[in-house]
Amino acid sequence: MSLQDTSQHSNCTAMSDVLNRIGDKWSVMVVGMLGRQGTLRFNELKRLINGVSQRMLTLTLRNLERDGLVTRTIYPEVPPRVEYALTELGKTLQQPISALWDWSSENHGSIMDARAIYDARSAAVAEDAPRKVAYVGSEGRLAGARSI
């Protein structure tokens, strides 16, 4: 709503909106899996995607279905069978997702390295920090300013 006109690029809203839906890891995983494997049942997806809870998988699939990225086909059998697959729109999303996926596996190492360096430096700085609060007394400015 208040996200209008971020610079001249009016499609920032679109980007935000899309990112809010497909920007979480479960959605990316599901699209990736369905893109590679084709059609999958609920529990197949659950097994393939490590760590996802039933609840989150259901929610993710519902959102993807709602956004027209995934089809949900129910076979009225016993036991029930439900199959998921990408729509045409969902298939087009595969390319940008694969690009991001490739970038990730390619650069994950660099990121980990950068983090290690950054954290090492932060730790070093933190060790010097206490010096600047060595002594707090004798400043008369507290005299009348005791406002609790």
Structure tokens at 91: 């298939």
Residue type at 99 in one-letter notation: A
Q: Are 22 and 28 in contact (CB under 8 A)?
A: yes
Q: What would the x/- binding string for DNA be over residues 56 to 75, using CB under 7 A?
A: x-xx-xx---------x-x-
Task: Give 7-15's long-range contacts (Cβ < 8 A, gap of 24+).
Answer: none
- Expressed in angstroms, the distance from the first to the final Cα of the chain is 40
Among 1, 7, 51, 148, binds DNA (CB under 7 A): 51
Among 53, 59, 82, 119, binds its own copies (CB under 8 A): 119
Q: Are 34 and 70 in contact (CB under 8 A)?
A: yes
Contact between 53 and DNA by CB under 7 A: the answer reads yes
Closest to DNA by CB, 37 or 95: 37
Which does residue 12 bind out of its own copies, DNA, none, counting CB within 5 to 8 angstroms by kind? Answer: its own copies
Contact between 24 and DNA by CB under 7 A: the answer reads yes
The sign of the dihedral angle between the CA atoms of 93, 64, 70, 3 is: negative
Q: Are 85 and 34 in contact (CB under 8 A)?
A: yes
Q: Are 40 and 83 in contact (CB under 8 A)?
A: yes
Q: Minimum distance between the CB of residue 112 and its own copies, rounded to whole angstroms?
A: 8
Q: Minimum distance between the CB of residue 93 and DNA, rounded to whole angstroms?
A: 19
Q: Minimum distance between the CB of residue 61 and DNA, rounded to whole angstroms?
A: 7
Which does residue 50 bind out of its own copies, DNA, none, counting CB within 5 to 8 angstroms by kind? Answer: its own copies
Contact between 137 and DNA by CB under 7 A: the answer reads no
